[in-house]
Structure 1
């Protein structure tokens, strides 16, 4: 290969990162363990500082459940509510008697509009 300044520079395999001396020292870090309901442990590292605190919960990278710092009592998984139709929401707000009264009122209005005799 020609040495016109375009040669790829490298080092031996396993030599580690280059340029550490130019970048300075890394900030102090602390590892915090989190456990999810499935027993998975994850230990992300956080910067150490006066105004920096590790979060109470962390998402488990294996299953996605929330993970907490107490191994004996991990947070419970979030329960997703199934999709509800418009009718399901209406049934939550109205009783069967209310529904029957509203239906009768709507049918009566329809009969009057069509020229029928009201009951």
Structure 2
């Protein structure tokens, strides 16, 4: 006796149903994109879809454009900044010394009580 939860009419590893069972697919077009590493990517889009100007390269992750002669430049990565680096951009050393002296004055006053 066969298993009770087997799907009738199929076998293990059977592929998807053909177009006659699923219906017609939308007309498609393949567009070439080129990244600065020389990779070519050809995603397919529906014929009536709006085609994007750039696409991420699946091999290296860089942006890819449709012009083979001048692909987009890789994005510039900014180095990680610490909180202290951002504070130093906003405040001068004199401001920092004044804030520190004010905080130390409050701390000393609270200890005297």
Per the normalisation by structure 1, the TM-score is 0.70
| Cα-to-partner distance string for 1:86-111 (whole Å, 9 max, x where unaligned) | 21221121111111111122222223
1:67 alignment partner, SS class: strand
Query: Partners in 1 of 2:82 and 2:74 — Cα distance?
Result: 25
Asked which structure has the greater CA Rg, the reply is 1
Matches within 5 A, 1:38-117: 38-49=37-48, 52-115=49-112
Query: Partners in 2 of 1:106 and 1:21 — Cα distance?
Result: 78
* Structure 1 unaligned blocks of 5 or more: 1-5, 10-16
Q: Displacement, 1:18?
A: 6.0
- Greater shift, 94-103 or 57-66, is seen at 94-103
| Number of residues of Structure 1 aligned to a counterpart in Structure 2 | 104
Query: Partners in 2 of 1:98 and 1:81 — Cα distance?
Result: 27
| Cα-to-partner distance string for 1:6-40 (whole Å, 9 max, x where unaligned) | 6866xxxxxxx863334343321111111112111
2:59 alignment partner, SS class: coil
Q: Counterpart in 2 of 1:14? A: none
Per the normalisation by structure 2, the TM-score is 0.73
Q: Counterpart in 2 of 1:13? A: none
Query: Partners in 2 of 1:112 and 1:8 — Cα distance?
Result: 83
- Greater shift, 20-29 or 37-46, is seen at 20-29
Q: Counterpart in 2 of 1:28? A: 27
Cα RMSD of the aligned pairs, angstroms, is: 2.7
